[in-house]
Amino acid sequence: MKSIVFHLFRLFRFLLLASSVLSSPAAAQQDLPILKSRSKVITIIDGDHVKKNCWGLMPEKQPDIYYVEIPRKSHSVTFRSDIDSITFSVNYGGRYDFVILLNDKVACPTQIRAAYGKLQPYSRTEPDLATAGEVIPFSLGDNDKIYIKARLNRGKPLDFQFDLGCGGSVIKKSSVPNANMQFDGTANLINSDGNNVVPSSSTNHLQVEQLQWDGLPFVVGDNMTHREDGLLGNVLFQDKVIEINYDRRELVVHDSLPQIDSKYSKHGMVLDGVVPFIRGSLAIGGERREGWFMFDTGAYTSILYSNNVSPASKLFVELGKLLGSNQATSSAPRLTIGDHAFAGFNYSIKNQGGNGDQLGLLGNDVLKRFNVILDNQNGFVYLKPNTLAGDSFVNPEYYLARAIVVVSLVLIAACGRFAYRRQYKRRLKHETQAVE
């Protein structure tokens, strides 16, 4: 009897030891795929989106988790180091573990998740009235931007700009007293004011028509106009399909892709966080490039990236066109989205930087000309020209060039008149002296 108990005790101790060894990270990592690297930064290719040197190695995380951009879409994700690469075919809900081995010494456990990292779901104030699509009326401002009514923390109605170029939810500093907001932290906010540390509030109630969100984080921004109290964007609908109908002035939020009119054209889309980018091409400065434009309803003016053109060149193009220069007309930027081409639109120029496939951003003076279906679930944008498609572009340099020409002509005329009067007086003086 004692011998049986002794052998059972030894067997139990062996199983306990074996389970502890097999459950250790070092043992578990031995069977995982390995990506070798000499660099501490990794490039990720998420579907069609190449994100150069976006992933910093953090071996202290066990594991470090990467959430794919469009989880519901089956696609491939590649991690590429300076010496190696590894690719996974991902499907919604899947988890894919591997190890990045830095300098053959440091193991960095890593996991790819085909899931939403920080999904912010909404509920309906009247669940029994759920329809095929949630309709949110909007107005189009004099700056061509989209405005919707919303309440924060059950306060009074506020005017929010629907900004697809915004990565989160923002309240304007001067509108905070009307938002019943409690601040409990800080956050880094990157916008047209630069990179700033701003107050943040982690739990807020937001209501837009019949939709409501609880526990919604907000940060404070101060780069807004008198027209809006804050910014709302795609972070609210990252697992939905959004329809923007400028003819009816409606946003419609769908749980799945609706029946699509044959007049819509289909275009590839990637997400940078929650910000959509659409595929297109840009001809500028004597070169034509293919790449991605930010789909930015929160910008009025389009911004084009180029290293070959100076920001001041736009004025010279307008002056050349006014003076009848064919070269000026042909050198004006042209952008193309599928079969839709644009020239003569309002734009500014920025240095391209190191990411060659980033073409810039499309402002809403261009985007408002299409009814839009933004499919966050499958990674596509559908465009259909609407009643605003024929609107003329408002280009400040157009008027500035004409003002410069008018002023120049006035100055030339004044100088000519002055020279003529001076010459006339001299001739009259000579004639008088000759008579004497």
pLDDT at residue 128 in the model:
62
CA distance 288 to 286: 7
pLDDT at residue 286 in the model:
78
Which residue(s) pair with 151 in the sheet? 207
Is the entire prediction scored with pTM above 0.85? no
pLDDT at residue 126 in the model:
81
pLDDT at residue 406 in the model:
56
Q: Helices H, strands E: what count in the chain?
A: 6, 32
Give the pLDDT confidence of 65-83 residue by residue, as tens digits.
999 999 999 999 999 999 9
Flag residues of the chain having pLDDT under 70: 1-30, 128-131, 309-331, 354-355, 395-410, 413, 416, 420, 424-425, 428-436
Please name the helix (run of DSSP H) or strand (run of DSSP E) that holds residue 110, with its range, or none.
Answer: strand 106-113
For residue 99, which of 164, 30, 151, 165 has the smallest C-alpha distance?
A: 30
Instruction: Tell me which amino acid residue 303 is.
Output: I
Give the pLDDT confidence of 374-394 residue by residue, as tens digits.
999 999 999 999 999 999 887
Cβ–Cβ under 8 Å, residues 234 and 168: no
